[in-house]
Amino acid sequence: MNNILSEEVLNVTDFTTSRQLTLWKREDLQSPQLDDVAEEVPVALVYNGISHVVMMASPKDLTHFAMGFSLSEGIIDSPREIYGMDVVPSCNGLEVQIDLSSRRFMGLKARRRALAGRTGCGVCGVEQLNDIGKPVQPLPFSQTFNLGNLDRALKHLNDFQPTGKLTGCTHAAAWVMPSGELAGGHEDVGRHVALDKLLGRRATEGEEWRQGAALVSSRASYEMVQKSAMCGVEILFAVSAATTLAVEVAERCNLTLVGFCKPGRATIYTHPQRLISD
């Protein structure tokens, strides 16, 4: 299998399709014209030959997605427990074939669920309400973030949405350094998938990715809070709002949750002690 750090190197236009559309503007129905539409494909994560989950996703950065999903769903505790990955076409979409350690594969079989999701839905396929919410070790309070540096990150977030710029159809998730610089980011038609891609990338990067925060272009749902906490992320910034369950989970697991992030303002939902201001 390929090394887990290998990436699919493709042009941004490989993730869009040109279609003939009709644009309406007030009092003017224009002639059909070509425009770009974001690709959305079924992506199956296959562990040691067994398909575990199918998610709808943008067909890029899929090894990062598989790594992030495996960590944020508690399938593995460390990237070292995945020995390799291959992204291969299947009859209806794509498969990420994952070589998982024997110990982790035994645990996966014991709790396996068939999760055929809508676009990046983190709950689809869960059989019982009790299955919603995983035990998360409370996060330490090991870092702070100066909110004055957030403006720089917000200004450049869409730099990591090349497909979104063409189609207006993707979410972004990026890693914000304490300085406000964005170390890297990923996009996807599904907000949970975009975050998983970021978490998978972070797990395979160096120490410089240990400090900082996650920034997402969407709202903050409880799944996104839980995924972040499972991967040791202490601070989550969201451009839009947070749900009540997201706030409750963030409070319980010691995650600093911040929503409505705009230049010069933000709403701090939980654990403000990590945040400082100029």
Supply the pLDDT for residue 14: 61
Tell me the whole-structure pTM to 2 decimals.
Answer: 0.85
Residues 256, 250 contacting (CB under 8 angstroms): yes
Supply the pLDDT for residue 25: 66
Supply the pLDDT for residue 110: 82
What does the alpha-carbon distance between residue 142 and residue 151 come to, in Å, rounded to a whole number?
23
What does the alpha-carbon distance between residue 102 and residue 106 come to, in Å, rounded to a whole number?
6
Amino acid, single-letter form, for residue 202 = R
What does the alpha-carbon distance between residue 137 and residue 5 come to, in Å, rounded to a whole number?
27
**Helical pair 222-230 and 191-203, crossing angle rounded to 10 deg:** 10
Render pLDDT for 79-118 as a digit per residue (tens, 0 to 9).
999 999 999 999 889 999 999 999 999 999 887 644 434 4
Supply the pLDDT for residue 92: 87
Residues 46, 174 contacting (CB under 8 angstroms): no
**In the chain, what are the domain boundaries?**
145-276
Render pLDDT for 173-182 as a digit per residue (tens, 0 to 9).
999 999 999 9
Fold (CATH) for 145-276: Cytidine Deaminase; domain 2 (3.40.140)
Residues 158, 171 contacting (CB under 8 angstroms): no
Question: Closest by alpha carbon to 239, among 209, 268, 207, 216?
Answer: 216
Mark the binding-site residues, compressed into ranges: 260-265
For the chain, give the mean pLDDT: 87
- In the set 121, 169, 231, 253, the catalytic residue is 121
| 169 is known as an active-site residue | no
Q: Which residue has the tokens 């451009």?
A: 239
H helix intervals, the chain: 62-72, 102-111, 150-156, 162-167, 191-203, 222-230, 244-252
Q: Who's near 171: CB < 8 A, 6+ residues apart?
A: 164, 187, 188, 189, 190, 191, 194, 216, 217, 218
Q: Residue 242 pLDDT more than 80?
A: yes
Residues 170, 189 contacting (CB under 8 angstroms): yes
Residues 186, 64 contacting (CB under 8 angstroms): yes
Render pLDDT for 42-74 as a digit per residue (tens, 0 to 9).
999 999 999 999 999 999 999 999 999 999 999
